Structure formats: C-alpha cells, structure tokens
Chain A
Amino acid sequence: MAVLKLIATSVRRQKPLYILWIFSLAAAVSGLLVVDVFRHSLTGTLTSQGRKILTADASLSARRMLSDDEVDALKKQMPGAETARLTEMFAMVSAQNESRLTLMRFISDEYPLAGDLTLQGEAAPVHGRDLGEKPTAWAAGDLFSLLDLKPGASVKIGNQEFKLERALDKDSSQTFRMGNMAPRIYVHRKYMTATGLVQYGSTLTDNFFAATARPPETLKADLEKSFKDPGLQITVPADLEQGSLRLLSRLLDYLGLTGLVTLSLGWIGVYYLGRRWLALEAKSSGVLKCLGLSSKELQNLLLLKLAAILSCGVLLGGAIAWLLAHGLLPFVRDSLPAGFQLIWSWKNTALLLIVGPMAGLILLRSAIHDLAFEKPLDLFQERTQSAKVNILGVAVLLASVAALFMLLTFMQARSWLVTGTFIGALSASVVVVAAIAFGFIRVIAKVRRPGWGWQAHLFSAQWVRRAGTSLLLITVSALAGLLSQLLPHLEKTLVGELNSPAGVERPALFMVDIQDEQLAPLKDFLSEKGLEVAKDAPFVRARIISVNDQEFERGQAAGAMSTREEENDARFRNRGVNLSYRKELSDSESIVEGKEWKDLTVDPPEIAVEAAYAKRLNLKMNDSLLFDVQGIEIRAKIAAIRKINWESFNPNFFIQFPDGVLNDAPKTWIMAVKKHPSFTPPQMQTLITKKFPNVTSINVSEALDSATQLIGQLSSGMKMASRLSLGLGIFVFLMILLFQLISARRDWRQLLVLGLTARQVWLLQVLNYGLLCLFGTLIGAVLSTAVAWGLFKFAFSTPVTFDFKGMAQVWLITWVAAIGGLAWLGWRETRSVRGGLSSESFRD
C-alpha cells in the first residue's frame, strides 16, 4: 500500500514526464495494433464469408472445361451432395452499336448453392432455374449504363441473342466493390454452345460446386488426394482469404512494416523518457536507501513502477487502437470487401500488450539495476549520463530487443525473408550510425582548440564531454531519420509495382481466344480497316508432367504455419502452363543465361524459360521437362533463361519453344492492336465483335484505369499510415529534445547568470541540439537509401524505385518540424529558466 502511495505521489509530481511517456508507448502500440486488427478482420471476414463468396462448400475448377469423368468422380466423392456448375469467361456483349467486355457466367439450374444472388426490386434470391426457358440474361447495373440500355433490351453474346431481363442487386460471390473492370452477366449454361464462345482453347474457368455437411478441414485434403492433376484446383471457403487478399496483402505488408517503424520510434521514445525518469528517480532512491531499503528491494520497487507505467501505456494504446480502428472504418470501407467487419483478435492484442511493455523493461532493466545498486551517497550527486559503455550489456540488450522485434516483424510480414532482412538492415544501421557518431565525437575532441569562439567552445565541450548523450542523440535522430525516410522509398516502390509505368506505349486492345483458323481473316480484316497489329503470339495449353523424370507434384500448403512464400509457390505450381513459340526474340525479352535464341535446336526441343518463373519452380539450366500438350507428351530441355520486360504490354510467355515443335499442336492466338487516331478502343471492339463474336478484346487503358483507381485508394491508405508514423517520429524526436533541454537546465541557467541574454542562450540551445540532429538525420538519409535497396533486393526481390524527392520532403518536414519544435521548446525553457533565476540561483 505504502509503495503504491509512493508511486502515485511521484507520478503526480512529474506529471508531464509520465504523460508523455505513457503517450509515446500508447502511440507506438496502437499503430501496430490497428494494422493487426485490420489484417485479422480482413482474413476473418473473408473466411466467414467464404462460403457465400464461393457459393458452396467446395469447388473443383480448372482453366479448361472439366471432363465428365472428373465431374462424376467428384459426385462419387460426395454422395448426396447438392451440386452446381459455372463456366466463367471474359466475352464481348454487343447492343445496337456498341460492344463491351463482360465477365460471362454460364450457370446451371442450382447455382448458387450458397450466398445471395438477387435482382433489383426483388428480395427473394434467384437461381439459375429462374432464368426461364427463353434466352434471358441478368447483368450488373453497370452494364445497363455502359451500353445505355433499359431492362428488356436485347443484346448479342457471341452468336446468340439474349433478352437482358433484369439488373442484379446483390451478388455475394463478388468480393470487392472496386477494381472489377468487366461487369458480370449471368445466362443459363444450356445456351453456352449456342453462343459459340467456348471453342477449343478458350480462356475460361470451369467450376463444379458442391454443398456438403462434411467437415471443411478434411474435405480439401481428401479431395486433393483423389484429384492429382495439378491443373485442377480444389477450393474450400477458407482458401478464398489468400486469393482475394493478394492486392490487399501488399498493402498490409506495407502497413505492417510502417507499424513496426512506428513501434520502434515509440520504443526509442520510451527508452529516452525512461532514462530521464531514472535521473529524476535518483535522489528519492538515495533517500529510500538511507531509510534502509536494500538494493534488491529498491530495484524491485523501480521495476514495479516501470511495469505499472508501461501497462498504463499499452492499455491506453489498446484503447486508442480501438477508437482509431472504428473511426477509420467509414473512410476505408470502399476499398474493403463487402460485408467487412472489425474483428478483434484477442490473441494478437494480448501478445502486443505483453510485448509492448516487455521491450521497455528489457531496454531499461540494466539502467535500473545500475541505479539500485549504486552507493546511496552517489545518488545525491548531480547525475550526468555516464559515458562508459558496457559492451556485453549493450550486446545482450540489443539481442533481446532484436529477438522481440523479430517476433513482431514475423507476425506482421509472415515471412522470414522480410523479417530477417528488415531486422538485419536495422541492426547493421545502428552499428554503422553508432560508429560514425563515435568517430565524429573523437574527431571533435581531437580538433577542438581554445582559439574557437565561445559558442563553438561550449558546443564542442558539451558534445565531447557528454559523449554518451551526444552518441544517443545522433543515433536516435539517425534512426528516426532512417525509418521515416525509408517510407517514401517503400511507398514508391510498392505503389510503382502495382501501378503501370508511364511512358510505355500501350496498345489499344488486347485480344484473346482467336482461333487458329481466324488468325488470317482477322489480320486481313484489321488491315482493311487500317488497324495495325502490334504483336501476335500462338498460345498452347499444356501441363508439366515431370521435371528430370521426377513427378511434378501438386505443391501442398503446409497448414496454418505456412509462410507466404510457400503459399505462393503452391499456388503457382497448381496451375497449368501456357506455352508459345516464336522464330526470334521479341524486343521486350533478353537472354540472361544459356544459349542465344537463334541457336536453339528443334530436336530434342530446347526451350527458354523466364527467370523469375524458373526461380519459383526451382527449374535450372539443362533440366529436362516433360509436357502434356493436349494428350501428347513432349520432352524439352531448358537451354536458356530469359528476362521479360512485362511493362511492354507485349504478349509474353513463361516458356518459349523454338519455332517448329508446337506448330501443329491445337492452339489459339493472342494479339495486341495499336492505337488508331480515328477509332476509340470501344469502337474497335464493336467492329471486331460484329465480325468475330467469339474473340474477346480487352480495352487496355480502361482495364488499367479501373485497376489504377483501386491502387489509388490503396496507396492513399499507405500514405496515411506513413504520415501517422512520421508524426510519431517527430513527436519522439521532440520529446528527446525536450528532456535534453530539461536535463541541462542548470547548465543553461548558469550561462544566464554569467550574463548571456535569454535570446543568446536560446540560440545556443537550438544550435547545439539542432546540429547534432542535423548530423544524425543526414546519416539517416544515406542509410535509408541503403536499407530500402537491401530490403527490396533481398526480401521482395524487386528492384527498388528510389523516391529521393519524397525522401527530401520527409527530411525537410522532419527537419523543419524538429527545428521549429526545438526553437519553441527552447524558448519556453529559457523563459522559465529566466523566470526562476532568482529563486533557484541563490537558493538551491
């Protein structure tokens, strides 16, 4: 009881210190917590909604039509289960004079087995059977406005006329409101043949759905055992999380890292304020020891007090996170999946709430120990931060903080690569900064001369003789600078990766599903209209049977603890592969390893594989691959590795055969059409669709624009997170400066007594700390560039896009804010020191 009273009293005495202390921890924790809550909620929402999104309990799907055998096998696996079928493809829909790209969905009577599909003005859900006997279609409301149609109008899809009966209202299988470039249109599958859209090699997805009461955990494993073909995908509701989160997961990665940056800044603040607290605690500790408290008891008392304060901080952080999450929700709802709900993961929350104070305890433990075991009389001495450094102690301290941080990073990024690189880069930076700062101080000590003006004399004395403080200040500002200046690089690279680059000439249209026999007539037709083909390429569907005679197994995701790298690999492996062949290298590709293109032999075929694809599937030079090309086995050897410039918008493939091997295989063609001054892309689409109804053409700029819109929203989320983090960085920075000013109050007061004016003292303060911070942030700027480079090279394996302008802006903002804040704090501080001159100079 007495102890609590003691704590309460001291807290009341030093209110600002404790408030700031609690607040910086709270800010640090809440940032990470908010990101975590959003991540968890997204996953949770999608899983809980998974059944509605999937419209069933399981689906078997392929990028080709499923065979009857496969469908029968699935039915046999689940006797008595309800089933439905959906074939989905992009296709053109034309009304009187216009055509539009749509997502065609050919559904069976029973579709959907789960979830809601409703029409406007009607609450009751509809199913495939409600489409009726005549050729009718339901379409998303967008399509009506795009084609300027009213319900009841007739449209042509492929070769078949449909009556566009009603507009769709709710469609729970559609996850994201934004970013769908093609409106959906539902027709009954019995008209699929009549449309003529499904031809050999058409790009489509065929799904077979089942509703069953079997437990979902074992369902997928069971099904995967019976369906070995890697081209078949088995999906259960829980899988949908990963797939639909792919875009968002990039954002969450970024937010996670930003959260970590915020947390580290917060920790720096906590540590710094903690040191200040201990300095204040010294005197009362001396009294307590004289009153008979043992060193051990004193240490426990201090630890208890620290724990109490830190707990307040994290609890407040939790509360702030809760408010922030709920407050942010209305603003970000549009970029989130429909039906998104905030779900609190108590496990993660608890973990963060424990880890938050733990770092503080670890960081301050040794300082507390030193204080508690010091001789009581020394405690009454003016405490100046000692410059002696216990190397082992510091190493242990850094290691424990690094371990803690590692755990958190992994929680955020779920990837050891990202985690390792991030931590490694940060630790290396700390060492580099400390070394540079140490060198700087040594140099100042060496070159210091009595002949310097009194200002320089005072600065240099302070920097050299209070080496510990200077070291800490430089390191902290460098770290804060590093972390905040890292953000623009991260942002630009990630946004750039999502965005398409400017300056590349985009084609007007991209066409797929061109039948072999349509190629020549289509080319003639285009040149007759004055349209120019940018590129075309054959497209052969196949799957890999074996690599070096080892069966190419369906990669299995290893359960809950799988990292994202593993998940990506598994997803990749499960797909079939598209092959192409050409006589010469296109101008957007280059050989990085192996033979030149023109030397590739045809028998046995030597192939060139794209570099990143090869890395992912672990394919190497001279590997022998066995392909199944529509039932015919073809063996080929990897003779070259290629790099592709995907931004060129040329048709490109992961695996290229030389001319002459696949030429007779069943194939379709893809083609890019150049822009033309007298036709808009929709006009071109209409022209082509009239003559070649089965050919799907994508309006490239429209598709990119709708993607850009989503990306714009995501990147504004990123920006907001960066701003918050930056704000905290500046706040921590100022806290450190404020406490630096307060700690040195007596020294500044002496200068006033010795006859300096308040303005002179103030200028001295600003210059003294400002110069150290300037030095620190400059090191930070250089390091942030290095860390950004390393992070992307080693963790994300994408080249970094530096944002030096953004970095300079951040630096300037930090710098102006820091100097402005310092000037303001310094002014207040000198005023108050000035005011207290009489009472304190002559009386303490």
Chain B
Amino acid sequence: MTLSMQGLAKSFKQGDTQLKILEDLELNLQDGEIVAVIGESGSGKSTLLSLLAGFETPDKGSMSWNGDVTREWDEKRWSEFRKRSLGFVFQNYHLIPYLTAVENVGLPLRLTGVAGEEANAAGEKLLRQLGLAQRADHLPNQMSGGESQRVAIARALVHKPSLVLADEPTGSLDARTGQTVLDLLFTLLTELKQTALIVTHSAEVAARCHRVLTLRQGKLWPS
C-alpha cells in the first residue's frame, strides 16, 4: 500500500471570505506505519481525513493510491475504496443502533460479499480478542462508551483494510477507559501490521505512533 498527497489545497467559503484550511500539503504513508496527526483545534485535521476518504474533493493538488490517481475516480470507485481499503474509528463510536455488537462488527465483511455466518464468526473472534465476548449480542444502547468504542475499533479492522483512519478515538472517553481502548487499538494495529492515520490531541497517543505530524498553517510538519 502506498498513499501520497501532493500540493493538496482545500478552502471553505464562509460568507464572503475564503477560509484557506489546507494549502500545498504533502503526505506520504508507508505500508505498516502508524502516523499521528496533531494540531490545534480548527487547523483542518478532520478535513484532511475527509479528503482521504473522498468525502471532500481537493481544490488543488493530487492524491494517489497505489499509484492510482484518485482525481479520476467516480463515486462507485470511491465507495469500493471505502468498503475494501478503509477502516474508520470516530470520536463518537457511530454504531448502527439496530444491529448487535457482533452484527455491527460483521457488517463491513457482509458488504464485501462475505456470507453472514462467516462474517459473524469473524466478528465474534475479534470481539473476544477485545474482551467483549459477553457483549456480542447486545445492542449499542446497552453498552458503555468504552465498550462501544471497542466495538467500533473491531468494526474498523475486521475486513483487514489497507488503511485505518481514526479521528480522536479516545476523545469521548474518560482517561482510564481511554487508556484501555488505546492499548487494545495499538495491540491490534501492531499485530495486524495495519497502516493507520490517527488524529489526536493526546500527547500520549502521539508518543505511541511511529511518526508524528503537526498540522499548522495548512501544511504537515514532522516533529
């Protein structure tokens, strides 16, 4: 897997003024590395992730995925990309409320055509690794925040995506729970040799990553 972004720019219109968020941004990700992105609130970290996932289109610059220039992708290609190659972890867990834990975890596999029983088995296995075996048949509203986030992590990893995107994965959790969740996340990422881009405010999280980038004035700076 290789991902590179060159000369990327993104701005938003706010009334009459043009808000320049990202400008001439460069990013290269190697297979298997875990990169942290830090930066002040409002610096554009989430915007960067949106561009990566194809939720936003850049104003300028180019992004390539395994040598494939994404500018030429249509919606279908993007959706294929998200389905097979990306895994998401959000700050607010975002589980589907009417699916049980195991069903939530199995969903990405099902969407790529894996049979239901197989998907559930894979989900159960992953949940067991995350210490949630008892919670497999619970619905999201019956689980605590930490548990939900662990389910979300399992869902982001179950289909072995090429790249995991995480936006403040412990932002909504108290310190201790956050710690546990983080431990699990890093254990899994390392074990599966996952490439990951983690946006965070936490120095602790950053410290555990292979590389830390700071987003400032629209650009990523190594630190």
The interface of chain A, by Cβ under 8 A from chain B, is: 381-382, 384, 449-454, 457-458, 461-462, 464-466, 746-747, 750-758, 760, 837-839, 841-844
Contact = CB atoms under 8 A, between A and B. Distances in A.
B200 interface: no
A842 B46 contact: yes
Contacts of A756: 79, 83, 111
Contacts of A746: 94
Nearest to B114: A454
Contacts of A842: 46, 49-50, 90, 167
A757 B116 contact: no
Contacts of B132: none
Given A457-B110, A838-B47, A465 B139 contact: yes
Contact of A450 (B47, B111, B120): B120
Given A457-B110, A755-B80, A757-B79, A838 B97 contact: no
Given A454-B111, A457-B116, A754-B111, 13 more contacts: A450-B117, A451-B116, A452-B116, A462-B98, A465-B99, A752-B79, A754-B107, A755-B108, A757-B76, A758-B75, A841-B50, A841-B88, A842-B167
B141 interface: yes
A5 B46 CA distance: 35
Contacts of A462: 98
Interface in B109-126: 110-111, 115-117, 119-120
Contacts of B216: none
A467 to B, nearest CB: 10
B96 interface: yes
Nearest to B116: A450
A461 B116 contact: no
Contact of B56 (A382, A384, A838): A838
A747 B96 contact: yes
B92 interface: yes
* Top 10 A-B residue pairs of the complex, sorted by shortest distance between their CB atoms: A755-B83, A838-B50, A838-B55, A450-B116, A842-B46, A465-B98, A755-B82, A454-B110, A837-B55, A757-B79
A450 B119 CA distance: 9
A449 B116 contact: yes
Given A451-B116, A758-B75, A382 B49 contact: no
Nearest to B76: A757
B116 A843 contact: no
B94 A750 contact: yes
Contact of B82 (A450, A461, A754): A754
Nearest to B87: A754
B103 interface: yes
A461 B90 CA distance: 23
Contact of A753 (B88, B98, B99): B88
Nearest to A465: B98
Residue of B50, B96, B110, B111 ringed by the most chain A CB atoms within 10 A: B96
Interface string B40-55: 0000001101100101
Contacts, number: 91
Interface of B: 46-47, 49-50, 53, 55-56, 75-76, 79-84, 86, 88, 90, 92, 94-99, 103, 107-108, 110-111, 115-117, 119-120, 139, 141, 167
A464 B75 CA distance: 32
Contacts of A758: 75
Contact of A755 (B47, B97, B111): B111
A747 B108 contact: no
Residue of B80, B97, B115 ringed by the most chain A CB atoms within 10 A: B97
B98 A747 contact: yes
A282 B97 CA distance: 18
7 contacts: A450-B120, A451-B117, A454-B111, A754-B107, A755-B82, A755-B108, A842-B46
A841 B141 contact: no
Contacts of B107: 454, 754
A841 B47 CA distance: 10
Nearest to B46: A842
A384 B141 contact: yes
A496 B103 CA distance: 57
Contacts of B47: 838
Contacts of A837: 50, 55
A250 B128 CA distance: 71
Nearest to B95: A750
Given A461-B99, A754-B107, A754-B108, A843 B82 contact: no
B125 to A, nearest CB: 15
Contact of A841 (B55, B83, B120): B55
A747 B110 contact: no
B110 to A, nearest CB: 4
Contacts of A751: 96
Contacts of B90: 841-842
Contacts of A839: 50
B58 to A, nearest CB: 12
A757 B111 CA distance: 11
Given A450-B116, A457-B110, A842-B90, A755 B50 contact: no
Contact of B79 (A457, A750, A755): A755
Contact of B96 (A453, A750, A752): A750
A136 to B, nearest CB: 88
A382 B139 CA distance: 13
A326 to B, nearest CB: 46
A466 B141 contact: no
Contacts of B117: 450-451
Nearest to A746: B94
A466 B107 CA distance: 18
A5 B7 CA distance: 49
A155 to B, nearest CB: 84
Contacts of A843: 46
Contacts of A454: 107, 110-111, 116
B90 to A, nearest CB: 7
A839 B82 CA distance: 17
A844 B116 contact: no
A466 B116 contact: no
B92 A753 contact: no
Contacts of B108: 754-755
A464 B98 CA distance: 8
Contacts of B84: 755
Contact of A382 (B55, B79, B97, B116): B97
Nearest to B48: A842
B52 to A, nearest CB: 10
Contact of A844 (B86, B92, B99, B139): B92
A755 B46 CA distance: 18
A307 B108 CA distance: 46
B212 to A, nearest CB: 19
A461 B98 contact: yes
Nearest to A456: B116
B117 to A, nearest CB: 5
Residue of A449, A758, A841 ringed by the most chain B CB atoms within 10 A: A841
